Amino acid sequence: MDLFLQRLFDGLANGSAYALIAVALVLIFKATTLINFAQGELAMLGAFISLQLWYWGVPMWGAVVLAMLITAVLAAGVERTLIRPFDPKDHLPLVIITLGLFLLINALAGIIWRFDPRQYPELFPSGNALNIGSRGLSWYAVFTIGLTVLVIFLLTVLLNKSKVGLAFRSVSSNLESSELVGIKVGSTLQFGWALAAAVGTLGACVYVSNPLLSLEPSVMLRVLIFASSAAALGGLDSIWGALVGGLAIGFVQSLLVQYLDFIPTEMSLAAAVVVLLIILLFKPAGLFGTASVERV
């Protein structure tokens, strides 16, 4: 029972970190129907930038916010120069561009910061918020979930109540019509990329501030798979779905893989891929997504 609680808590903490990256994927998918394969690497770069700023003496949370701003500007630039010239309906060039970015950013981080793992400062108070027997719910888990819910809430408000959000939703539902009614599609998509990069960076910072993990250029390789499974599970165009999907993937990783004996521990990544595969095969719109209708 003790162990069960511990795993539940672990799943909660990891799952909400995945949810943050999943939200970033969802934001870009909503706007452009593109999956950004470089999203995890961009977030990793953001985490490194925040660490570098912290080395230079910026207070930790200030460094995170600054890094979010920097990656947002970077992503806006990427959208403008590398993504916009291509036809959004032709997937192959866009997949190739984001894969190129993946390699580029991954190598760049390795060149600048090297490959040795670095301890990332804790963003949240250490210790446990709640102790049950010998097991405890860490403050890290509590704050991560709180932060994730807050971010998703703020995004929902932004998308539903503001003018920018209206434009964003309009573009994501019908690109051509939005253009006809005078919405600046380009800058709206750019806004989506910037927002996604900022959220992704926050997610990466929170993820690596887990005392059990450290920051290195390859830290996001696995997380991208977890996060995209989470996003697909929740429905690729639903922000709240990303939260549910993230938590579900977190629980699959920490509970299912631990308790079902025939799944070895190292297979948590495989479990996530299998979840992704099953969802795409049987419920391609995910749990909360809107099914798309193809018209000729």
Partner 1 sequence: MATKYILAGTSQHKIWKYGTWGLFILLVILVAFAYVDTGFIEIGGNKYNISMIRLSKAVAFAVAILGLQCVVGFTGQVALGQSFFVGSGAYLTAWLVADHQWPYLLTLVVVIPACFLIGMILGLPALRIKGLYLALVTLGMAAVFPSIVKLDSLSDKTGGSGGKSTAESKLEAPDWAASIFDGIAGALQQIPFFGQYFGEGDLSSREADRMWKFLIFSIVAAICFWLVNNLVKSRPGRAMRAIRDNETGAAVSGVDLAMTKTLAFGVSSALGGVAGTLYVMEVGIASPDDFTQLLAINLIVGLVVGGVGTLSGAVVGGLVVVLIPDWAASTESAAFVPQRWLQGPTGGFLLGLMLIILTFVLPGGIVAGFRKLRARFVQVVPRPPDGSVPAAFAAATAGATTAGEAMLSSESDDELVHSGPSDGGSTDE
Give the interface with partner 1 as residue ranges (CB under 8 A): 33-35, 37, 82, 85, 91-93, 95-97, 99-108, 110-112, 114, 221-222, 225, 228-229, 232, 264, 266-267, 269-270, 272-273, 276-277, 280-281, 284, 296
Q: Which residues pair with 132 in a beta bridge?
A: 135
Q: CA-based angle 66:70:72, to the nearest 5?
A: 115
If one counts every other C-beta atom within 10 angstroms of the C-beta of residue 265, the result is 8
Q: How far apart are CA 94 and CA 240, in angstroms?
A: 26
Nearer residue to partner 1 within complex by CB, 9 or 286 = 286
Helix%, strand%, coil% for the chain, nearest 5: 70, 5, 25
Structure tokens at 47: 């985490």
- Cα dihedral across residues 145, 146, 149, 150: positive or negative: negative
CB of 169 to partner 1, least distance (A): 21
Q: Which residues pair with 215 in a beta bridge?
A: 118
Q: Is the Cβ–Cβ distance between 213 and 120 less than 8 Å?
A: yes
Nearer residue to partner 1 within complex by CB, 184 or 222 = 222
CB of 246 to partner 1, least distance (A): 16
Nearer residue to partner 1 within complex by CB, 80 or 135 = 80
Nearer residue to partner 1 within complex by CB, 176 or 266 = 266
CB of 103 to partner 1, least distance (A): 3
Nearer residue to partner 1 within complex by CB, 36 or 210 = 36
Q: Which residues pair with 136 in a beta bridge?
A: 131
CB of 296 to partner 1, least distance (A): 8
Specify whether the backbone of 128 is left (phi greater than 0), alpha (psi in -120 to 50) or beta. beta
CB of 236 to partner 1, least distance (A): 9
CB of 13 to partner 1, least distance (A): 22
Nearer residue to partner 1 within complex by CB, 140 or 217 = 217
Q: How far apart are CA 124 and CA 142, in angstroms?
A: 9
Structure tokens at 91: 């997937």
Nearer residue to partner 1 within complex by CB, 149 or 280 = 280
CB of 116 to partner 1, least distance (A): 12
Coil vs helix vs strand at 132: strand
